[in-house]
Amino acid sequence: MTDSLPQPNQRPLLAIMLVAVTTLFFAAADTIGKEMAMKYPVPVMQAIRYLASTVLLFAFVYPKIGARLWQTQKTKQVMFRGLLLSFASLTMGHALRLIPVGEAVSILYLSPFAVMALAVPLFGEKVSPLGWFLAVLGFSGVLLVLRPGGGLDPVGVIYAVVNAGIATAFHLMTRSLSKTESAIAMLFYATINGAAFFVLTSIPHLSGPVPALFDIGLMVLMGLFATLGHFFFAAAYKIAPASLVAPINYMHIVWAAVLGWLVFNHLPDRVSVFGMALIIVAGAALALNAHYVKGRTKI
């Protein structure tokens, strides 16, 4: 439980604020992504977003750390992880085009429960009965959001579920690679892989509508939000215990639902709101308990 003890250089309130702002950034990027996906092909939108992130990394990070930006020990695996993120961005873009932001993000949060379950056979981790109960509770929340008759476009739901599956593989690879690779190098390869992937996949759409200058600015803003989000998360985990920071990640669902309502007038029904609440409660409880029992019984 040493990670939950206050350290001299830790500032928990600042960490909570950083994660809350970061999840707002991600939800804002999702909201912009939905607006752009309804107007332009998803690969075109994502190409501009990833190119913007690449420029930001070279402009602001490379001058400070130089070649460490791309130095890795397992380059092929790191690049494959980046390819997974590209497919996740592609499927999320198509999901956002068809279903509300809040519901799409809620389905994405099926991933942490799947990661927990798969970590048992893959990494030999142990899960307590409470852990399994919380996982089932969170999964039940996702099912309430997905339920037949909920009014969601079935194709959009399929894209969102596939996205959650890809995100699960992405996070499992991240957990494995973090033992040997730096966070900034993994971010770099994910960004340049995304830029290359979406530039290539956008070629068939070059004869389509040309994004307006204002819309290009919004796509660049998506890249800015995503890049800043990664840095803010890293900063938050450096100045506060993971047990305090991790549960705040579920603010993403709240921000997504609020922005979806404000921008698109998409108000989830009561059953979906209850499902979202179950996901948030179960996920936050899992994050807190996993670190509270660290060193004793892991979940």
Residues 68-110: tens digit of each pLDDT: 999 999 999 999 999 999 999 999 999 999 999 999 999 999 9
**pLDDT single digits (tens) 230-252:** 888 878 877 777 666 777 888 99
Average pLDDT over residues 259-264: 94
- Return the percentage of the chain with pLDDT > 70, whole number: 92
Tell me the pLDDT band of 2, cut-offs 50, 70 and 90.
Answer: very low
Position 9 scores a pLDDT of 56
Q: CA separation (Å) from 203 to 89, 183, 208, 216?
A: 17, 31, 10, 17
Position 242 scores a pLDDT of 64
Tell me the pLDDT band of 290, cut-offs 50, 70 and 90.
Answer: low
Asked if residue 8 has pLDDT above 60, the reply is no
Position 237 scores a pLDDT of 73
DSSP one-letter string for 228-278: HHHHHHHHHHHHS-HHHHGGGGGHHHHHHHHHHHHHH-----HHHHHHHHH
Position 15 scores a pLDDT of 83
Between CA 188 and CA 192 the distance in angstroms is 6
Q: Is 241 left (phi over 0), alpha (psi -120 to 50) or beta?
A: beta
Q: Share the mean pLDDT of the chain.
A: 88
Position 4 scores a pLDDT of 40
Tell me the pLDDT band of 298, cut-offs 50, 70 and 90.
Answer: very low
DSSP single-letter state for residue 3:
G
Average pLDDT over residues 255-266: 94
Over the range 66-101, which residues count as b (16 or more CB within 10 Å of their CB) and which as e? Answer: eeebbebeeeebbbbbbbbbbbbbbbbbbbbbbbbb
Token pair 């600015």 in the structure block, residue:
217
Between CA 159 and CA 164 the distance in angstroms is 9
Burial of 257 (0-12, 13-18, 19+ CB in 10 A): buried
Question: Quick check: 137 and 282 in contact, CB under 8 A?
Answer: yes
Position 163 scores a pLDDT of 96
Tell me the pLDDT band of 293, cut-offs 50, 70 and 90.
Answer: low
Question: Which range (2-11, 61-70, 85-94, 114-123) has the least confidence?
Answer: 2-11
**pLDDT single digits (tens) 17-44:** 888 999 999 999 999 999 999 999 999 9
Tell me the pLDDT band of 294, cut-offs 50, 70 and 90.
Answer: low
**Residues ≥6 apart with Cβ < 8 Å to 217:** none
Position 292 scores a pLDDT of 63
**Angle at CA 164, nearest 5°, toward 70 and 205?**
70
Average pLDDT over residues 167-181: 89
Nearest to 249 by CA among 280, 282, 276, 222: 280
In the numeric block, which tokens belong to residue 142?
């996702």
Q: What is the pTM of this model?
A: 0.87
Asked if residue 51 has pLDDT above 70, the reply is yes
